[in-house]
């Protein structure tokens, strides 16, 4: 009887395993859309401007472009902020810098080198990216931070946590840096996960910082403290910030306003209030929301 049961069980499981194996092989055989250039060009040493030159981007299989005619320069020592309504193309825009996707028209450059021609490892070492939904790995606080810089000293790790406003909650844990982190950071709050991801980027001291709505889970005071702590270490770097909250970017050197994949405003906060209706509307709507909340 047991033999018959096992044979029945195997007759059910083998076809399922075969289907799973086929799907797995399809994934493994998929050619990456972003490939290492045949003759990679080294990026310039040290901070260099990031430029978007008449960039248009359409997702594979889509009919309409997500971004169209994008032109701006983010310079070292300046904070360039990107704001717009949901679906305006903010995250897609910054994803083009580390080549998570390749542009269809125009080009994105770092120090006059088209990112499609740059050595991929060189490009990724230059960038510290904090994504919209930061991912933490099963392990410890220390092991997660070391993904940013494997040879970082304990002092460097603690300093990165200080800058990211994460040191107090790590110090409060009995294990300190050895405190466990569950897969995805499920044992941490949203704000703690964001601060951990920021610390992981900061510990590398990259030449280009990209924060994709990375302060959204922080209260206003922590947001302000974090940005103040970032200033000394980003003084010579390129800083790109995607934000929903105007308060996060009000002091930015350059604010790019996106609407339906196009730039509809470019300048500082005070200038845009006068010249860009879309930006003025965003500011007014957030001010109204804050007034109602108060």
Query: 160, 203 in Cβ contact below 8 A?
Result: yes
| Whole-number Å distance between alpha carbons of 34 and 265 | 31
Tell me whether residue 69 is in a domain.
yes
Q: Which of 22-31, 142-151, 189-198 has the lowest mean pLDDT?
A: 22-31
Residue 92 vs residues 207, 239, 246, 294: alpha-carbon distances, Å: 21, 16, 20, 34
Q: How far is CA 43 from the centre of its chain?
A: 21
Tell me whether residue 39 is in a domain.
no
**What one-character DSSP code corresponds to residue 68?**
E
Tell me whether residue 37 is in a domain.
no
pLDDT on residue 259: 95
pLDDT on residue 46: 87
Output the domain CATH number for residue 188: 3.40.50.300
* Predicted confidence (pLDDT) per residue in 152-193, tens digit: 999 999 999 999 999 999 999 999 999 999 999 999 998 999
pTM score: 0.85
Tell me whether residue 95 is in a domain.
yes
**What one-character DSSP code corresponds to residue 198?**
H
Residue 292 pLDDT > 70, yes or no? no
| Whole-number Å distance between alpha carbons of 199 and 205 | 10
* Predicted confidence (pLDDT) per residue in 36-91, tens digit: 888 899 998 888 999 999 999 999 888 899 999 999 999 999 999 999 988 899 99
Query: 140, 178 in Cβ contact below 8 A?
Result: yes
* Predicted confidence (pLDDT) per residue in 214-267, tens digit: 888 888 899 899 999 999 999 999 999 999 889 899 999 999 999 999 999 999
Residue 81 vs residues 21, 44, 153, 161: alpha-carbon distances, Å: 45, 24, 32, 23
Name the domain count of the chain: 1
Q: Containing domain of residue 138, as a range? A: 50-293
Tell me whether residue 10 is in a domain.
no
Tell me whether residue 7 is in a domain.
no
* Predicted confidence (pLDDT) per residue in 87-118, tens digit: 899 999 999 999 999 998 999 999 999 999 99
Tell me whether residue 44 is in a domain.
no
Query: How many C-beta atoms lie closer than 10 Å to residue 1's C-beta?
Result: 5
Residue 204 pLDDT > 90, yes or no? yes
pLDDT on residue 27: 54
Tell me whether residue 41 is in a domain.
no
* Predicted confidence (pLDDT) per residue in 10-37, tens digit: 777 777 777 777 776 665 555 566 778 8
Q: For Cα atoms 186, 192, 198, give the angle at the middle one, nearest 5 degrees.
A: 115
- Nearest Cα neighbor of 85 from 252, 273, 286 is 286
Answer with the residue of higher pLDDT: 48 or 7: 48
């Amino acid at each position: 009887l047991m033999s018959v049961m096992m044979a029945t069980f195997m007759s059910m499981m083998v076809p399922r395993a075969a289907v799973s194996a086929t799907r797995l092989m399809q994934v493994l055989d998929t050619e990456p859309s972003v490939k290492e250039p045949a003759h990679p060009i080294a990026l310039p040493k040290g901070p260099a401007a990031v430029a978007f030159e008449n960039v248009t981007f359409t997702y594979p299989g889509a009919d309409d472009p997500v971004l169209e005619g994008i032109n701006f320069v983010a310079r070292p020592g300046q904070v360039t902020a990107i704001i717009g309504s949901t679906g305006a193309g903010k995250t897609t825009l910054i994803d083009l810098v580390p080549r998570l996707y390749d542009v269809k028209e125009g080009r994105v450059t770092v120090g006059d080198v088209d990112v499609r021609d740059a050595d991929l490892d060189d490009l990724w070492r230059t960038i510290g990216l904090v994504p919209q939904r930061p991912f933490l790995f099963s392990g410890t606080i220390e092991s997660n931070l070391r993904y940013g810089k494997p040879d970082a000293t304990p002092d460097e790790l603690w300093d990165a946590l200080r800058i990211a406003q994460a040191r107090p909650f790590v110090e409060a844990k009995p294990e300190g840096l050895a405190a466990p982190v569950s897969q995805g950071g499920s044992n941490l709050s949203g704000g703690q996960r964001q601060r951990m991801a920021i610390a992981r980027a900061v510990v590398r001291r990259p030449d280009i910082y990209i924060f994709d709505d990375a302060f959204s889970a922080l209260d206003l005071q922590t947001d302000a403290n974090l940005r103040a702590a970032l200033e000394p270490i980003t003084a010579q770097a390129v800083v790109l910030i995607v934000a929903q909250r105007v308060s996060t970017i009000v002091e930015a050197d350059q604010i790019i306003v996106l609407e339906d994949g196009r730039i509809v405003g470019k300048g500082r906060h005070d200038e845009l209030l006068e010249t860009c209706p879309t930006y003025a509307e965003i500011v007014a709507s957030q001010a109204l929301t804050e007034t109602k909340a108060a």
